[in-house]
Chain A
Amino acid sequence: MKPHITRDLLYSIARHSNWRPGGIEAMLRSSGIYAGPRNWASLLRLLLLGAGVSFIVAGVVFFFAYNWDAMHKFLKLGLLQALIVIVTAYVLLSKRSETTRNLLLTGNAMLVGVLFAVFGQVYQTGANAYDFFLGWTCCVALWVAVAKYPPLWLLFMALVNTTLFLYVQQVATHWPFAVLLDLLFVLNGTAVLVWELVAHKTKNRTRSRWLQRVLGLAAVTAITISLVVGIYANMEEDWGLCVLLAALGYGAGIWHGQRVRDLFYLSVIPFSGIVVVASLIVRMADKTPELLLLLASLFVIGSTTLLVRNIIRINHKWHGKY
C-alpha cells in the first residue's frame, strides 16, 4: 500500500521528530508536492502559448480600436474576416494538440467580437448595444458546443450574461431587478448542469472542475442577492418565483454534490442559506435592533460551525482522514 502523502502529514511528522531538512525536501519532491521538471515544462508551454495567443488577439483589438482613417472600411472588415477564416481552417485541419487548437479557437472567438466592434465602429451601432453582444454570442455558439473547452465556455457565458444584463437595461426596462437576478441564476445554473452532464458522459471526473465552480458561484451569488433583495423589498415582486428557483436549484445542487462527492456544492449552497436566514433575522430588527443583531451574529457563528463540522465529517466519510 502506497501512503497518501500530504503537506500537513509531512509537517506533523517534522514537528514531532528529528527529521532533517534534506530528507523533508527530498520527500516533498518525491511525493509530487513540489513541481518536478515535467510540471515546469507544462507550465512554461501553457504560459508561452496562452500569452502568445492573448497578446496577438489584444494586438488585433488595439489595431482596429485605433480606427485608422486611411484604411477603407471594407479592408478593415475583410482583413478580420480573412483572419477568422484562416484560423478556423487551421484549427480544423491542423494536427497540433487539442489544447493548442482550443486555445486558437478561443482567440478566434475574441476576433469575432472585434469584427462586430469594427462593424459597430463603421456603421455607428454603438459599442454597448445588447444586440452587438447577442450577435457575438450566437456566432461563437457552435464552436463552444463543439470544442467543449472550459475557457471558451467561460467567455461564452460572460457574453450570455452581458447580453441579458444589457437587454434588461436597454429593452426590458420594466422588468424588476429580482427577475434579472433569477434569470442569471437559471442561465448559470443550466450551464453548470450541462457541464456536469458532459463530465458524467465522458466519465471524466478527475478533470479540473473550475468552470463548474465559477459558474456555480455566479448562480448562487445571483439567487442569494435576489433572495436578500426580496426580503428587504417586503417580499414583493416575484419573491415566490425566486424561492421556488432557489429551492429547486439548491436541492439539486446538494443532491448532486453528494452523488459526485464534491464539497463545493455542500459548502457554497448552505453558506448562501446562512446569509439569507441572517438577513431575515436582521430584517425583523425594526423594533429591537440590538437583540436581533446579536442573534444574527450568534446564528452565523453557530451555523458556520455546524457547516464546517459537517464538511469535515462528510469528507472523512468519502476520502478518509487525510
Chain B
Amino acid sequence: MENTEQQALDLLLRQIREQEGEGFVYDRAEINAELEQSTPLLANLPVKLLTILGGILASLFLLGFLFATGLYDSPTGMLVAGLLLLAGSVAVIRIRKDTLAETSCVSFHIIGYLLFGIGFSGLFQSEDALYSLLALMALGVLFAAANSILTFLAVLVFSGSLAAIILNHQALNLMHGYIGAVAGLLTYLSLREATLISLGSWFSRVYGPVRMGLVVTLVAALALLMHQPPLPAGGITHYWLSGVLLIAAVLFVLSKVMRQAGLANRKQQLLVYACCGLVLAPTVLSPAVPGALLVLLTSFYIGHKTSFAAGVLSLVYFVILYYYDLQLTLLQKSGVLVLTGALFIGGYLLLQKHLKNDAN
C-alpha cells in the first residue's frame, strides 16, 4: 500500500478508537494484507462481471469439449466429473486467491453443477433427490468457499433447488411462503448489516453475495409468479398472501427509514403510512410490484447501487405488467393511469412545498 493510503487508514483507525474507547483493538497486519488483495471499489463491478461472463463462456466451451470426448455417453462419468469439479474448484479457491484461480474456478464450478445434474438425472429417476442434493451441495459451498462469486452461485442453486422441489410436488401455494421467507431474509439482512458483519469473519465474507443472491432469487420468484409456466391443476392461487407479506415488509422498511430520517411527528408518520398503504393496496393481488419496491428500498437504504438498479428495472417491468394484466377496458385503464399519475404529481408538489417550508 502507498504511504498516503497507510496514513489515511491510520487516521480512520484512530477515529474509530476515539469513538469506541481504549478497548478497541485491531490486527493492523491482517487488515493490510486483506486490503492488498481486495479489488478496488471502482474496479469491483467490472471485475465481478468479467469473471462471471468469462466463466460462463469458458464453461460452455469446456462443456462442448467434454461432450465431444464422449463423456455425454456415460452418466456415471458425468456425475463423478461434476463432483470432482465442484470439490476441486472449492478447494483451489480456498488455497489460491489470485485472479487466474478465481476465473478458472468459476468456470469449473458452473460445469460441476451442470455435469452433476445431467449425470444424476441419467442414473436415477428421482427429481426430488437431485434437487435436495443440489441444495445440500450449495449449502456446503456456502460454508466452505471463501469466494464471493461461488457464494453468490451457491445461493442461486440453493434457492433454485428449493423452488424446484415446491414446483415438483405441485405444492404451488407454498411459493407464497417461499417468497415471504426470501423477502423477510432480504429485509433482515439489509437492516442489520452492521450487526451481522460484526458476528465474525464468515458472516462478513458472505454478507454481500448472499444479499445479492437473495435479490436475484426474489425477482426471479416474483417473475415466476407473474408468468406462471403451464402448471397443472390451475397453478398458483391466493396471490394476496404474498401481497400482504411484501407490503408489510415495505411498510416495515419505511418505519425504519422514518426513524433514521428523524421523522418523529406521529401525525406525519401516519400520513406517510396512509399514503403508502393507499398506493400499495391495489397491488395486493399483484405481489411483484411491492416485491420490486422492497428490493429498491432496501438497496437504497444500504447504498448498494447494483441491486438498486435491479430494483428500479424490475419495478418498471412489474408495474407495466400490472397494468397490462388489469381486467379493464383500455378506456378504464386510461382513467386509472391518469388519476394515479395526477396523484403522484400532487404528492410531488406537496413534498416540494413541505421541504421548502422545512428549509426556511
Contact = CB atoms under 8 A, between A and B. Distances in A.
Contacts of A165: none
Interface in A40-72: 40-41, 43-45, 48-49, 51-63, 65-66, 68
Contacts of A178: none
B40 A315 contact: yes
Interface string B187-208: 0000001110110010011010
Contacts of A303: 54
Contacts of A68: 331
Chain B facing A: main interface SS: helix
A3 B303 contact: no
A66 B334 contact: yes
Nearest to B13: A13
B325 interface: no
Contacts of B69: 290
A321 interface: yes
A18 B25 contact: yes
Contacts of B54: 271, 274, 300-301, 303-305, 307-308
B301 interface: yes
A297 B43 contact: no
Interface residues of A, number: 90
Nearest to B309: A210
Contacts of B103: 301, 304-305, 308
Given A15-B201, A27-B16, A40-B257, A293 B351 contact: no
Interface in A1-41: 1-9, 11-29, 32-37, 39-41
A80 interface: no
B31 A16 contact: yes
B64 interface: yes
B337 A309 contact: no
B104 interface: yes
B8 A301 contact: no
B334 A311 contact: no
A271 B50 CA distance: 8
Nearest to B207: A11
Contacts of B7: 1
A290 B204 CA distance: 42
Nearest to B338: A59
A267 B47 CA distance: 8
A1 B8 contact: yes
Interface stretch (B81-89, B127-135, B236-244, B340-348): B340-348
A293 B303 contact: no
A301 B61 CA distance: 11
Chain A facing B: main interface SS: helix
In this complex, the interface size class of chain B, counting residues with CB under 8 Å from chain A, is 35 or more
Contact of B16 (A23, A41, A315, A319): A23
Contact of A23 (B20, B46, B335): B20
Contacts of B193: 25, 28
B201 to A, nearest CB: 5
B24 A17 contact: yes
B107 A301 contact: yes
A319 B39 CA distance: 12
A5 B338 contact: no
B92 interface: no
Contacts of A311: 43, 46-47, 50
From A12, A26, A34, A271, residue with most partner B Cβ within 10 Å: A12
Contacts of A264: 46
Contacts of A118: none
B344 A51 contact: yes
A26 to B, nearest CB: 7
Contacts of B58: 297-298, 300-301, 304
Contacts of B31: 12-13, 15-17
B258 to A, nearest CB: 9
A275 interface: yes
Given A1-B8, A54-B341, A33 B50 contact: no
B171 interface: no
A296 interface: yes
A278 interface: yes
A185 to B, nearest CB: 20
A316 interface: yes
Contact of A322 (B41, B68, B104, B261): B41
B34 A12 contact: yes
B42 A319 contact: yes
B34 A16 contact: yes
Contacts of A66: 329-331, 334
B38 A8 contact: yes
Interface in B21-67: 23-27, 30-31, 34-36, 38-44, 46-47, 49-51, 53-55, 57-59, 61-62, 64-65
Contacts of B220: none
A294 B329 contact: no
Given A19-B20, A62-B333, A293 B194 contact: no
From A6, A58, A297, residue with most partner B Cβ within 10 Å: A297
Interface string A273-305: 011001000100000011001101110111111
A51 B341 contact: yes
Contacts of A319: 40, 42
Nearest to A51: B344
A252 interface: no
A271 B335 contact: no
A263 interface: yes
The 6 A-B pairs with the shortest beta carbon distances in the complex, nearest first, are A304-B54, A55-B341, A59-B337, A59-B338, A52-B344, A56-B341
19 contacts: A8-B39, A9-B9, A17-B26, A21-B195, A22-B194, A28-B194, A44-B351, A48-B344, A60-B334, A62-B334, A66-B334, A264-B46, A271-B54, A278-B57, A293-B65, A297-B107, A308-B54, A312-B99, A322-B35
Given A40-B257, A305-B104, A320-B4, 8 more contacts: A5-B12, A15-B205, A34-B302, A56-B338, A263-B42, A294-B61, A297-B107, A301-B103
